[in-house]
Amino acid sequence: MLGFTITQWMFGILSFLAIMFALMVVFSRNPVNSVLYLVLTFFCVAGHYLLLNAQFLAVVHIVVYSGAIMVLFLFVIMLMDLNQEKEPQKTWLNKLIAGVAGGLLLFVFVGSLKGAEQLQLETYGASQIGLVKNLGKVLFSEFLFPFEIVSVLLLAALVGAIMIGKKEIR
């Protein structure tokens, strides 16, 4: 097929979709549409994880991002009753400045890649590090302490969110 392998086709299609949906997140007027496009972007990124042989990470990504975080966003948007008419817009000058600044940043990043060595990802289908067994081994031996710290962080965030969200604190 035009000299490309199936993996390369998948990579191209997923990249195109991810970039398109990411652009729609930024440019759609209705916040609810933005959230839905963001979910689609996350699915595309999960597809990239699958291509990269990070199967467990792909599943966790879908569960955590598309499942938990996006539902939270949707609920907050619905509670706030935001819609297209109430959506505040920046002036055209501000948008132009943002676009130019982003474009220049992209130029710098891509420019720094010029002349870089072309390293190939050769481990497709052979790499086993994305499986639960291997990730668990690393997570619970080398990174045990950060893992425990993250549990404290999540507990603190939980308590903090409830405290902030309460109407009055007695």
Partner 1 sequence: MINGISINYYILLSTVLFIIGAIGVMARRNSIIIFMCVELMLNAVNLLLVSFSTLHNDATGQVFVFFIMAVAAAEVAVGLAILSMIYRNLKTIDTDVLSKLKH
Q: How far is the CB of 39 from partner 1 (least distance, A)?
A: 10
Q: How far apart are CA 138 and CA 49, in angstroms?
A: 19
72 within 8 A of 63, measured Cβ to Cβ: no
Q: How far is the CB of 77 from partner 1 (least distance, A)?
A: 6
Q: How far is the CB of 47 from partner 1 (least distance, A)?
A: 11
Comparing CA positions, the residue from 62, 52, 40, 42 lying closest to residue 10 is 52
DSSP 169: -
Angle between helices 31-51 and 6-27 (to 10 degrees): 160
> Which one of residues 122, 168, 169, 170 is an interface residue with partner 1 (CB under 8 A)?
122
Q: How far is the CB of 127 from partner 1 (least distance, A)?
A: 6
Q: Is 132 in the site for partner 1 (CB under 8 A)?
A: no
Q: Within positions 58 to 77, which residues make up the interface with partner 1, using CB under 8 A? A: 60-61, 64-65, 68-69, 72-73, 76-77
Q: Within positions 74 to 103, which residues make up the interface with partner 1, using CB under 8 A? A: 76-77, 79-80, 82, 87-90, 94-95, 97-99, 101-103
Q: Within positions 15 to 54, which residues make up the interface with partner 1, using CB under 8 A? A: 15, 18-19, 22-23, 25-26, 31, 34-35, 38, 41-42, 45, 48-49, 52-54
> Which one of residues 78, 83, 142, 148 is an interface residue with partner 1 (CB under 8 A)?
142
Q: How far apart are CA 68 and CA 159, in angstroms?
A: 17
Q: How far is the CB of 57 from partner 1 (least distance, A)?
A: 5
Comparing CA positions, the residue from 60, 65, 63 lying closest to residue 136 is 60
In angstroms, the Cα distances linking 121 to 27, 51, 125, 126 are 33, 11, 11, 11
